[in-house]
Amino acid sequence: MSKLVIVGTVAFDAIETPFGKTDKILGGAATFIGLAASYFNVDTAAVSVVGGDFPQEYLDLLSNKNIDISGIEIVKDGKTFFWSGRYHNDMNSRDTLITELNTLADFKPVVPENYKDAEVVMLGNLHPLVQTSVLDQMETKPKLAILDTMNFWMDCALDDLLNVIKRVDVITINDEEARQLTGEYSLLVAAEKIQTMGPKYVVIKKGEHGALLFHKDQAFYAPALPLKAVFDPTGAGDTFAGGFAGFLAKSNDFSYENMKNAVIFGSTLASFCVEKFGTERTQNLSNQEVHQRLLQFKDLTQFDIELA
Amino acid sequence: MSKLVIVGTVAFDAIETPFGKTDKILGGAATFIGLAASYFNVDTAAVSVVGGDFPQEYLDLLSNKNIDISGIEIVKDGKTFFWSGRYHNDMNSRDTLITELNTLADFKPVVPENYKDAEVVMLGNLHPLVQTSVLDQMETKPKLAILDTMNFWMDCALDDLLNVIKRVDVITINDEEARQLTGEYSLLVAAEKIQTMGPKYVVIKKGEHGALLFHKDQAFYAPALPLKAVFDPTGAGDTFAGGFAGFLAKSNDFSYENMKNAVIFGSTLASFCVEKFGTERTQNLSNQEVHQRLLQFKDLTQFDIELA
């Protein structure tokens, strides 16, 4: 089993969907990633920053999942990063209503001493210089560095982003972002181009259409589980990344073949995430229900054509 | 092996894509379906209508694929159905430039005598009353009736459409059409509703995002093969349907489990279709290249998580 370091936001979200709305609830990339990874019981540290307004119960929630929170700085007189958004009826697009960076504006990540030799590093969506700082603090080169990012950084910090992309093994990115980053419409060609930028593995997330894993001339496709309703997509991508990273850290096998399984685990955990608001559904997942859903993924994808 | 009857257009298409444009070339639903089904060497009859302007070489092309064309009426003084369209840069949407119904306007399908006992009937996209007429002419109830349709008939002939939907075993429909037909956004819920309308099996086509097969509470997902370029999507849905129907007719096994394989074959053949204009790529497919691509589908979808 590997140790896992996660950097990302720990935040308040306020969400409106066609199904209802929330007050400020627990959110943030590192939160979703951490909760998903905690399913695999790996030694995990979250590196982030919150304000004095951040409830102890939320920190306890992470601690109780055996996530080391000593790397979550608490700025007593600061406020926690807050995002508010409203999803459209199709749940595939959303408007950001509020973004308050607050303490995140001056965030200087500090990796806990006993995690500077972690084998797996998951760089959640943040300014690429923050992601770079985490890599710089690692005393031994991670066996697997995974980076998530978004179009915002392509628009306003492209050089920094390209510099950190150069240093990671895996990138997770959505389809439109892959197209923006490369100027290529074909995801296959986009993934080829991204591999020349550094990452040997490219994961392209397509929301309700699933996710693709690319490596050299190989491709693997994990569908999203067809669901009766997507209640709240917030955090689904991070939950996917957390499941992906957590599974790989647990199995300590970073081969392409095993990454296929990691993509399936990521999709499985993400399929739970969207069933309720925020972290509600992924806070408590039993082995049995995850196992059950993995069986659904098998039924959904496995076929039996005889090929000599 | 079962006999297969196909009804649909045999037509001229003129296509513009970002990669180029064609003059009037061979097109039409029955053409694409027939060519795809011919890969499986089943006894196939195409039921359609063309005008006196339709080249003998196109008819010969179908005949040479062992497609019985005695059900393709030739209206000597009429003109062949003509469609012209222009694809947008993303290749996922298109504008229809010209639709000339011509002989199709008065099309009265006639099923050849020796195909009135065909076990499999593939009703290509046409007015639902034309589709109904083909079912009415069958002297023995087909073991498997498959219907393809489009939003146009939902808009202007919904009652007729619902009447023919009631009588078929499988419907193939795209995602937006499934939503329009049922008023449901979730494809899972839409497929449940469609099953109450008659078809026990629902195939929802999602273009570059693959296809879903639903039956009772089961779902199966066939991705589209990631391609470097989609050169021309025209006929991909029909090629999918032809591969689906042809494989089932050949194997004579209409179980849900075997339909999964049929969906994979449909996706495989469709992946060739989009590589060149019109029928150019699917006119000549070797066993070897189809086999090779099936292996790619296996690599793309099969994983190996141990589930006790």
**Is B302 an interface residue toward A (CB < 8 Å)?**
yes
Q: What is the pLDDT of residue A16?
A: 94
Q: What is the pLDDT of residue A273?
A: 96
φ, ψ of residue B203 to 5 degrees: the values are -110, 120
Q: How far is A54 from chain B (nearest CA, A)?
A: 36
Start-to-end CA span in chain A (Å): 38
Please identify which residue in the block is written with the tokens 């894509």: B17
The answer to whether residue B308 sits within a structural domain is no
Q: What is the pLDDT of residue B305?
A: 87
Residue of A nearest to B256 (CA): A303
Cross-chain Cβ contact B304/A260 below 8 Å = yes
pLDDT grade, residue B306 (50/70/90)?
confident
Q: What is the pLDDT of residue B229?
A: 85
Chain A interface disruption, residue of B212, B305, B306, most A CBs within 10 A: B305
Residue A308 has pLDDT above 60, yes or no: no
On chain B, the residues whose CB falls within 8 A of the CB of A214 are 226
On chain A, the residues whose CB falls within 8 A of the CB of B230 are 186
Cross-chain Cβ contact A219/B227 below 8 Å = no
φ, ψ of residue B69 to 5 degrees: the values are -105, 15
Distances (CA, A) of B33 to A170, A204, B5, B28: 41, 32, 10, 9
Digit-coded pLDDT (tens) for B204-247: 999 999 999 999 999 999 999 999 988 899 999 999 999 999 99
Closest CA to B6 of B260, B287, B239, B204: B239
| Whole-angstrom distance, CA of residue A224 vs CA of residue A243 | 14
Cross-chain Cβ contact A304/B260 below 8 Å = yes
Residue of B nearest to A260 (CA): B303
β-pair type (A11-17, A25-27): antiparallel
Which residue range(s) make up the domain with B94? Answer: 4-300
The answer to whether residue B161 sits within a structural domain is yes
B-proximal residues of A, 191-250, CB under 8 Å? 191, 206, 209-210, 212, 214, 218-221, 223, 226-230
Helix, strand, or coil here: A146? strand
pLDDT grade, residue A53 (50/70/90)?
very high
| Whole-angstrom distance, CA of residue B49 vs CA of residue A42 | 66
Q: What is the pLDDT of residue B18?
A: 87
β-bridge mates for residue A75, sequence order: A51
On chain A, the residues whose CB falls within 8 A of the CB of B189 are 228-229
A151-184 CB burial, b ≥16 within 10 A, e <16: eebbeebeebbeebbebbbbbbbbbebbbbbbeb
The answer to whether residue A306 sits within a structural domain is no
β-bridge mates for residue B308, sequence order: none
Helix, strand, or coil here: B178? helix
Residue B36 has pLDDT above 70, yes or no: yes
Cross-chain Cβ contact A260/B303 below 8 Å = yes
| Whole-angstrom distance, CA of residue B130 vs CA of residue B141 | 17
| Whole-angstrom distance, CA of residue A32 vs CA of residue A173 | 16
The answer to whether residue B27 sits within a structural domain is yes
The answer to whether residue B305 sits within a structural domain is no
Cross-chain Cβ contact A302/B301 below 8 Å = yes
Cross-chain Cβ contact B299/A227 below 8 Å = no
Residue A222 has pLDDT above 80, yes or no: yes
B88-106 CB burial, b ≥16 within 10 A, e <16: eeebeeeeeeeeeebbbee
Q: What is the pLDDT of residue B76?
A: 97
Among B214, B291, B303, select the one facing A307 at the smallest CB separation. Answer: B291
Distances (CA, A) of A193 to A6, A17, A43, A203: 26, 36, 34, 13
Chain B interface disruption, residue of A298, A305, A306, most B CBs within 10 A: A305
Amino acid identity for residue B103 in this structure: T
| Whole-angstrom distance, CA of residue B37 vs CA of residue A121 | 50
Cross-chain Cβ contact A261/B303 below 8 Å = yes
Cβ contact B109:B71 at 8 Å: yes
| Whole-angstrom distance, CA of residue B4 vs CA of residue B250 | 9
Q: How far is A180 from chain B (nearest CA, A)?
A: 13
The answer to whether residue A169 sits within a structural domain is yes
Residue A18 has pLDDT above 90, yes or no: no
Residue A209 has pLDDT above 80, yes or no: yes
Q: How far is B143 from chain A (nearest CA, A)?
A: 22
Cβ contact B79:B100 at 8 Å: yes
**Is B85 an interface residue toward A (CB < 8 Å)?**
no
Q: What is the pLDDT of residue B151?
A: 94
The answer to whether residue B233 sits within a structural domain is yes
Residue B9 has pLDDT above 60, yes or no: yes
Residue B10 has pLDDT above 70, yes or no: yes
A221-252 CB burial, b ≥16 within 10 A, e <16: bbbbbbbebbbbbbbbbbbbbbbbbbbbbbbe
pLDDT grade, residue B308 (50/70/90)?
low
- What's the total number of domains in chain B? 1
The answer to whether residue B306 sits within a structural domain is no
B-proximal residues of A, 161-200, CB under 8 Å? 185-189, 191
On chain B, the residues whose CB falls within 8 A of the CB of A195 are none
Q: What is the CATH number of the domain that holds A68?
A: 3.40.1190.20
| Whole-angstrom distance, CA of residue A78 vs CA of residue A51 | 4
CB atoms within 10 A of CB B86: 14
Mean residue pLDDT of chain A comes to 96
On chain A, the residues whose CB falls within 8 A of the CB of B305 are 261, 264-265, 294, 298
Cross-chain Cβ contact A299/B219 below 8 Å = yes
Among B90, B218, B291, select the one facing A185 at the smallest CB separation. Answer: B90
Is pLDDT larger for residue B203 or for residue B89?
B203
